[in-house]
Chain A
Amino acid sequence: MLIPHPLLGLRDAQEFTYLGDAALLDRPSPEGEGAEAAFCDYVFLRGNPAGVHRELWFHEQGDRSWLVVTRNTLTHEILGAELASKVAKALKGAAE
């Protein structure tokens, strides 16, 4: 597969390490009653859809960026790739 790195252009998937569901960006709050249950879901429950999936890839053999790659797991079509730090910042901005 080829991954369109937002800074470096098309890069071979062999340069990356795969992590999975980009929901991992949304770490729950450690405060409050439901924290343990929320962490339980966060750690153990992941989406694994047959279709469009947002997932985390680490450019380990490259510039060490974490990317959020939108990929169709059925066709391997890649619909986009963003810097995870940007996505995470936007997520935090929306939460505040």
Chain B
Amino acid sequence: MTRIPGGLIDRSQTLTFSFNGKRYTGHPGDTLASALLANGVHLMGRSFKYHRPRGPVSAGSEDPNALVTLRSGARAEPNTRATVAELYDGLTARSQNHVGPLGFDAMAVNDLLSPVFAAGFYYKTFMWPRAFWEKLYEPMIRRAAGLGALSGEADPDSYDRGYLHCDLLVIGAGAAGLSAALTAARAGAQVVLADEDFRLGGRLLAESDPLDGGPASDWVAEVEAELRALPNVRILTRTTVFGTYDHGIFGAVERVADHLPVPGTSVRQTLWRITAKRSVLAAGATERHIPFASNDRPGIMMAGALRAYANRWATLPVAGPQDRIAVFTNNDDGHRTALDLLAKGANLLGVIDPRADAPRFGDYQLFAGAQVTGTHGRLGLSSIEITRDGRADWLECHALGVSGGWNPNVHLASHHRGRPVWNEELQAFVPGEGGPQGLIPAGACAGRGSTSAALGDGARAAQAALSELGISAALPRLPEAEDRPLRQTAFWHVPGKARAWVDFQNDVTVKDIALAHKENMRPVEHLKRWTTLGMATDQGKTANVTALAVMAELTGKAIPETGTTIFRPPYTGVSLSVLGGGDTGKDFRPTRLTPTHHWAEAQGAAFVEVGPWLRAQYFPRPGETHWRESVDREAKAVRSAVGLCDVTTLGKIDVQGRDAGEFLNRVYSNMMGTLKVGRVRYGLMLREDGHLYDDGTCARMAEDHYVVTTTTGNAGLVYRNMEFARQCLWPELDVQIISTTDAWAQIAVAGPRSRELLSRIVDGFDLSNEAFPFMACASLSVCGGLRARLFRISFSGELAYEVAVPARYGHALMQRLMAQGADLGVTPYGTEALGVLRIEKGHAAGAELNGQTTAAMIGLGMMVSGKKDSIGAVMSRREGLAEDSRRLVGLQPVDPEAKVVPGSHLFADGTAQDMAHDQGWITSACFSPHVGSSIGLGFLEDGAARMGEVILAANPLEGSCAALRVVPPHFVDPEGERLRG
């Protein structure tokens, strides 16, 4: 146990957790990493390629090493950084990427084979023989690749999505972020303050430097209290702003319940879309390390992380207080770590500083002009080699803090291809010009990282941002704070022959970069892909700049000439679950229910998805054991008595205005302007390329009023296209349109007894064939005063009507028709019977109007009027389209027991069944109770002239081939006498 006094943990409570099955304790305020270190556990995982033992190198979200699988079962969450996993009672975690126990990983043999696995290994190794690509190499690579594994089970938790709007978004709640938020909040601006940590304060929590002479955490608490009391401030802790998007929009994930064993009634995470007029980026900086021989052992970490674990989490990464700790730094900041460790009573070996004139700030041993050139320790550091003036000494050492300087966190300022610029004085990239609109970097992420500078910078950034919005903000009084300059030397790695890690997660060493250089993979984008530098979960936050510096040294170029890779969201990993935001399963999209849905449900109907709708598919009756029995019965009832079908889902568009007729002439291929009031006409719509895309009816209710119907699936598209025609093509026409699909419930009443049934509900309306013939329409009242519309149209080929009433009366109308028609044999029918009836009648539907067919192909070429212009008319006449001889035909099996299978392709008997001899395909098929066999519709070359011919329908998927007779596509009442009767 290496708990030391102090820290921001609550020692009054003890939390129990387990790692690899072993139980440990920690305190609220701990992360999993800090609690494990406090329990003397330094080994937390294995590296990706060489399976080297690894512990945390940082105390934040940039950590490349300490990746664990948190929780178990369906909630198992792989690749979670122990350094940011907030400890809770009952937490369980397992290490990843090893075979056998973590301390003895069988895959560590890879480490011995490391010369084989050098840069470009994949590209060089898995090239030949070609036959091995899929059978051997891919399964092998897939097995070896990746770190943790997904559970494979569905995520049991719920996720949410939220939208926030503010004047100022402050990203990061350290010194700069807090002073920015305070400045803006006091000015009355709407402020959102987001930080990925569970506690506000950022780096202030990890430092021992006082603010106004007191602990920094006191000032943080004071500011937090003030901000929380203000109604114009929203504080989001545990929230990572992961991406900058266009026009001041940011993506953020709030881990609402990740710090709880199970979310309970809460959502697990929330995806926030924050629209901010202005933003202050106060994301801080990330420390970089210095590659040297065997620099990846557990116990070696960033000097700033060592300091954070000591100051904030009251722990040291050693087994006991007697264990020696050293610091290796090229800058003054590393010496602060030494001072803090001394203050905490650690056994400090000393500070190794490559600068010959390295300063000393306190009572510790200084190795000036020295370097760390080697380490020992199988599963944790045991000794280090210090080389000075050519002389090497091995010294016992159990923890080593390394500091190679600090990299400003420029990511969010660079998501819009904003390229960071090199600052020679800071030896770091800082945000450049042309970053995201309205975003001001402040504090350490802008290269102004002393506490005093960050405090002032944040306040000034907020003031500047608000003044652009016309809000004047006064600068708050800020506490007295340290303002040390960061003196450092450009010292990027310790030269040597042994492996020195640059990217810990992907096992990229200085040698790999040298090899990439030798193999001419020098541009930074090539370097990245050749070596896998900067990939995977940490995206090289601790590695990229160092790697660039090494490459720059090899090429003899300056670092800025070597370039940077492009920064893209997300800043840290975002789970797919939260991106889905709860839109899963049934909630993937809204389900639209018809007005008679609940009635149909009570009848025991089976339902089917049609576009966004659920429609009744068929209505099984007691004793019916197969859906075909129900469908055959329903279809027969329509042909012999009367059936009812909810057809509300068909799109309805109200078209009104003086030029409504002219407008419809232009959007339909056939004439609609000449339609008489009180009449309906079938219409075709083409795309501008001349192909058919929708059909429907057009009813003229008044001189300047039409009601148009569309297919269910195309209701939205037709409406959008009609709005396009109205606003963009012919804005001079006096016409208004609106979708009324949801406003009217519409029920098809079909069958020889439909007139008799309807006569029982209309209010004194003459339904006789003379007064209300086929293709008539009218507004009327039904059921004793209910406003309704009646259309005499037929999809089934029978005498049929469609009656529409305001949607809220749909359910009642269905009940009334069922009750009134009991003695007439009234039968509800679903979409299956509807399909049978229309195939028997040869009406085109979705399978025929598939976007690749023409009016001529469905036998309605005459409906593309040559007397007027309409959308698609010109292109429908183009060569190739006009000459297409394929026509819609009916198909009937020669053997009545044989099945017609939709999707089958048609061939003349005796020809090869290949593309060259393909003569068409079957679009729709069903069992026809009327014909007594399976029947189908299809497109056949020269189809109109081939009636009676026998052709073959090949179904290579099922290995079948059926002989079919070509017949006209009307199996029922070809003369249309029934529907006119």
Contacts and interface: CB of A to CB of B under 8 A. Distances in A.
B596 to A, nearest CB: 27
Contacts of A50: none
A25 to B, nearest CB: 5
B727 A66 contact: yes
B749 interface: no
Contacts of A2: 246-249, 275
B728 A66 contact: yes
**Centre residue among B416, B723, B731 by max chain A CB count within 10 A:** B731
B161 to A, nearest CB: 11
A70 to B, nearest CB: 15
Interface string A80-93: 00011110110010
A36 B874 CA distance: 6
A92 B245 CA distance: 37
Tell me if B's interface is mostly helix, strand, loop or mixed: helix
B249 A85 contact: no
B731 A60 contact: no
Contact of B688 (A1, A19, A42): A42
A58 B875 contact: no
Contacts of A83: 727
A18 to B, nearest CB: 11
B720 A60 contact: yes
Given A1-B247, A64-B723, A43 B689 contact: yes
Nearest to A64: B723
A17 interface: yes
B869 to A, nearest CB: 4
A69 B716 CA distance: 22
Interface string B501-526: 00000000000000000000000000
B246 A85 contact: no
A43 B729 contact: no
A30 B690 CA distance: 13
Contact of A30 (B716, B724, B874, B878): B874
B389 interface: no
B875 A40 contact: yes
Given A24-B728, A36-B878, A30 B873 contact: yes
A64 B731 CA distance: 14
A2 B152 CA distance: 38
Contact of A66 (B248, B723, B878): B723
Contacts of A42: 688
B688 A39 contact: yes
Interface in A23-66: 24-25, 27, 30, 35-36, 39-40, 42-44, 56, 58, 60, 64-66
B877 interface: yes
B418 to A, nearest CB: 11
Contact of A84 (B249, B689, B727): B727
B587 interface: no
A85 B725 CA distance: 10
Contacts of B731: 85-86, 88-89, 92
Given A64-B723, A66-B723, A39 B728 contact: no
A85 B727 contact: yes
A1 B247 CA distance: 6
Contacts of B222: none
Given A40-B875, A43-B875, A58 B729 contact: no
Nearest to A89: B731
Nearest to A92: B732
A2 B247 CA distance: 6
Interface in A6-30: 12, 17, 19, 24-25, 27, 30
Contacts of A76: 246-247
B732 A58 contact: no
Interface in B862-899: 869, 873-875, 877-878
B737 to A, nearest CB: 9
A86 B727 CA distance: 8
A17 B732 contact: no
Nearest to B725: A27
Nearest to B434: A75
B898 to A, nearest CB: 42
Contacts of A1: 245-247, 249
A39 B874 contact: yes
A92 B732 CA distance: 9
Contacts of A12: 275
Contacts of B732: 89, 92
A24 B689 CA distance: 13
A65 B720 CA distance: 10
B728 A25 contact: yes
A35 B873 CA distance: 11
A40 to B, nearest CB: 7
A60 B716 CA distance: 9
A56 to B, nearest CB: 7
A88 B484 CA distance: 64
Contacts of A36: 874-875, 877-878
B246 A39 contact: no
7 contacts: A2-B275, A24-B728, A25-B728, A25-B729, A30-B874, A86-B731, A89-B732
Given A1-B249, A60-B720, A85-B727, 15 more contacts: A2-B246, A2-B248, A25-B728, A30-B869, A39-B874, A42-B688, A43-B688, A44-B689, A58-B724, A66-B724, A66-B727, A75-B416, A85-B728, A85-B731, A88-B731
Interface of B: 245-249, 275, 416, 688-689, 716, 720, 723-724, 727-729, 731-732, 869, 873-875, 877-878
Interface of A: 1-2, 12, 17, 19, 24-25, 27, 30, 35-36, 39-40, 42-44, 56, 58, 60, 64-66, 75-76, 78, 83-86, 88-89, 92
Q: Lowest 4 CB-CB distances: which A-B pairs, in order?
A: A30-B869, A85-B731, A2-B247, A85-B727
